[in-house]
Structure 1
Amino acid sequence: MNNNLTFQFGMYEPATDSIIVNNRENSILVIRCKECNSSVIFDEPSHVVYLCHLAEETLLLYAKLALKANGLQNYVDAMNKFN
């Protein structure tokens, strides 16, 4: 997988809990948040809210982290340290 993707445009689709992004090569990538979030281990089940807010408010960062090995897990671990 290409870890150097640069996204031009993205949107969160609440009906499918997905992020749809367009990269520089004019291809569309659909990231299903429920599937990505299921691979993360949470200290508390309620901590899934970290990823929900990220997907809805900073979706291009969510997309980049979801495509990176342990990206979402590292994000949640960092959020746990701050809170």
Structure 2
Amino acid sequence: MNNNLTFQFGMYEPATDSIIVNTGENSILFIRCKECNSSVIFDDPSDVVYLYHLAEETPLLYAKLALKANGLQDYVNAINEFN
């Protein structure tokens, strides 16, 4: 994985439950949220809402966390610490 990707634009596509990211390198990344979310262990199954909110509100952050080892898990763990 190229860690030097520059994310120019990103959006959540609800019809496919995906994040679509323009990397500025004449390429597009499609990140399937259902697959990424399935790798996260939740204290409460309803905590998956944190990830859907993240995908909808800040799709570029979701994409960056999804591409980082344990990124989404660390995000959910941090949110649970605050709640």
> Which TM-score band applies after superposition, normalised by the shorter structure?
over 0.9
Q: Is the 8 A contact 1:3 1:68 kept in 2?
A: no
Q: How many residues align?
A: 83
Matches within 5 A, 1:17-28: 17-28=17-28
Q: Quick check: 72-81 or 5-14, which moved more?
A: 5-14
CA distance in 1, matches of 2:2, 2:47: 29
TM score, norm. by length of structure 1 = 0.96
Deviations 1:6-62, CA, capped at 9 Å, x for gaps:
200111110010000001212100000000000000000000011000000000000
Q: Secondary structure at the match of 1:68?
A: coil
- The letter of the residue matching 1:62 is Y
The alignment-based identity, stated in percent, is: 87
The two structures, once aligned, show a CA RMSD in angstroms of 0.7
Matches within 5 A, 1:4-83: 4-83=4-83
Structure 2: give runs of 5+ residues left out of the alignment.
none
Kindly state the Cα deviation for residue 4 of structure 1 after the two structures are TM-superposed: 2.7
Structure 1: give runs of 5+ residues left out of the alignment.
none
TM score, norm. by length of structure 2 = 0.96
- The letter of the residue matching 2:23 is N
Runs of 4+ in 1 over 4 A off after TM superposition: none
